[in-house]
Amino acid sequence: MRLDGKVALITGGASGIGLATSRKFVREGAKVVIADINLDQAEAAAAAIAAEGFEGSVAAVRVNVSVFAEVEAAVARAVEVFGKLDVIFNNAGIAGGKPLLEHDPVADYEPIIRVDQDGVYYGILAAGRQFRAQGTGGVIISTSSIYGEQAAELSFTYSAAKAAVISFTRSAAYELAEYGVRAVAITPGRVGTPIINQFSEELKAVFASEQLRNKLTEPEEIANVVAFLASDEANVINGTVVSVDDGYSVFKQRLDLPVF
């Protein structure tokens, strides 16, 4: 088991990519704290994973990642329950979109920046301090997006926040290397999470067509990559953006080519 003996804190861990990663980490031998703004959902997820034969390997904590004190408390809780912290997966995020000139900054800018951008900064800071205090190194993995590297429809604020995650990752890798800390960002494409699954079948088919397999990525497929990145097998992956987009970023649209 590639994560045997490691302790991980996963934000947004009660659903979607976070839940799939929580389950994957535990199966790979890690102890996991599921951190989510919905405590009931986090506790239910932890109970379900424990019931799969992993009693004592998973705990839950409520966290609003837009509040630094709560992120610090979640890190402290992981250390309290499992004795240390080896990995943080800054995965909690929200989405939303509206044409720029129709923005209400209070509704369409501030919440996304506070969760998707500030929440990652707070996770990097709180975990980085814990890793330094332990003197044992650690791994910081943060969820960016394909939108963090390109412009897209209705995503002015979301793209900015996800681009910041990439910049944070590079700077964290540079600054924290002396403490044995690695930092990596992932850029998922179209993943079958609750955010996307709420849409119509027609729209989901369009999303699927933007990827090379012509299907939505499963959260478990992202979790597999995150587990590898958290493991010692990935020790040379540092300060890097790892694309997990099934080719979304390599083409714009499929064409019916003429006969030459």
CATH number where 76 lies:
3.40.50.720
Residue 1 lies in a domain: no
Residue 212 lies in a domain: yes
Q: With CA atoms as reference, report the closest residue to 208 among 168, 248, 173.
A: 248
Residue 251 lies in a domain: no
* Single pTM value for the model: 0.96
- Secondary structure (DSSP) of 177-236: GGGTEEEEEEEE-SB-SHHHHTS-HHHHHHHHHTSTTSSPBPHHHHHHHHHHHHSGGGTT
Whether the predicted pLDDT of 257 surpasses 80: no
pLDDT tens by residue, 149-203: 999 889 999 999 999 999 999 999 999 999 999 999 999 999 999 889 999 999 9
What is the mean pLDDT of the segment spanning 102-107? 97
* Residue numbers of the domain that contains 117: 7-245
What is the mean pLDDT of the segment spanning 199-209? 92
Residue 98 lies in a domain: yes
Tally of domains in the chain? 1
What DSSP designation does 98 have? -
Residue 73 lies in a domain: yes
Q: Identify whether 158 is a catalytic site residue.
A: yes
Residue 128 pLDDT grade (very low, low, confident, very high; cuts 50, 70, 90):
very high
Which is more confident, 184 or 257? 184
Residue 258 lies in a domain: no
The maximal CA–CA distance of the chain, rounded, in angstroms, is: 67
What is the mean pLDDT of the segment spanning 235-248? 97
Residue 37 lies in a domain: yes
* Helix, coil or strand: residue 64: coil
Instruction: Give the CA dihedral 198, 150, 163, 26, nearest 10 degrees.
Output: 50
Residue 257 lies in a domain: no
Active-site residue among 158, 174, 179, 248? 158
Map tokens 């969820």 to a residue: 143
Of the chain, the percentage scoring pLDDT greater than 70 comes to 100
Residue 50 pLDDT grade (very low, low, confident, very high; cuts 50, 70, 90):
very high
